[in-house]
């Protein structure tokens, strides 16, 4: 993957969600550039904490929209969100405790997860919810 940035290929045709995905991808990018610039622990920790908080907000909103639309794969999708929330919280904890640093490998993990989750999992609800008039 080259530079991780929003593009139309990520669109799920639901404005609120597209906007949240744009913000999420932007925050991952912010963490990546802070890491590359060699920003200190506090600065990186702050961005990571904000990213986790935003993930929680986004996942909750997305789950609310899926549930309201009666999306049949809601539970499985929610479980994927929980897995990622736990995983990122673990990275954050290790980081705060000084047992891990934000490396290229961590960034690749985050970028790949977001890319694959939007393309493979979020994209699946798009036609179902769009057909219900949710856009
Ligand atoms: Fe999702
Ligand atoms: Fe999403």
Q: How far apart (Å, rounded) are the C-alpha atoms in residues 97 and 100?
A: 8
pLDDT of residue 124: 98
Confidence of residue 2 (pLDDT cuts 50, 70, 90): confident
- Identify the sign of the CA torsion 49, 36, 18, 123: negative
CATH class of 12-131: mainly alpha
Cα 64 to ligand 2 centre (Å): 12
Place of tokens 């047992």: 99
What is the token pair recorded at 98? 């000084």
Question: Which ligand sits nearest to residue 84's alpha carbon?
Answer: 1
Integer CA distances (angstroms), 98 to 72, 91, 93, 104, 110, in order:
41, 11, 9, 17, 19
Residue-wise pLDDT for 16-70, tens only, equals 999 999 999 999 999 999 999 999 999 999 999 999 999 999 999 999 999 999 9
Question: Among residues 102, 15, 97, 107, which one has the least CA distance to residue 61?
Answer: 15
Say how many Å lie between the CA of residue 83 and the centre of ligand 1: 11
> Per-residue pLDDT averaged across 81-91, rounded?
95
Q: Where are the chain's structural domains?
A: 12-131
Q: Which ligand is nearest to the CA of 55?
A: 2
Q: Do 52 and 92 touch, CB atoms closer than 8 A?
A: yes
Considering every ligand atom, which ligand is closest to the CA of 21?
Answer: 2
Q: Is the pLDDT of residue 79 over 90?
A: yes
Closest CA to 120 of 8, 12, 1: 12
pLDDT of residue 1: 61
The mean predicted confidence, pLDDT, of the chain is 95
What's the pTM value of the predicted model, to 2 decimals?
0.95
Ligand 1 center–CA 10 separation, angstroms: 12
């Amino acid at each position: 993957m080259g530079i991780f940035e929003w593009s139309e290929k990520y669109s799920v045709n639901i404005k609120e969600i597209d906007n949240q995905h744009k913000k999420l991808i932007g925050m991952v990018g912010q963490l990546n550039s802070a890491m590359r610039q060699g920003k200190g622990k506090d600065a990186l920790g702050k961005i990571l904490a904000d990213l986790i908080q935003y993930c929680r907000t986004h996942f909750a909103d997305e789950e609310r929209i899926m549930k309201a639309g009666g999306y049949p794969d809601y539970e499985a999708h929610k479980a994927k969100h929980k897995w990622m929330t736990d995983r990122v919280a673990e990275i954050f904890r290790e980081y705060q405790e000084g047992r891990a640093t934000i490396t290229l490998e961590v960034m690749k993990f985050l970028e790949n997860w977001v890319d694959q989750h939007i393309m493979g999992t979020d994209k699946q609800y798009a036609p179902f919810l769009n057909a219900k008039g949710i856009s």
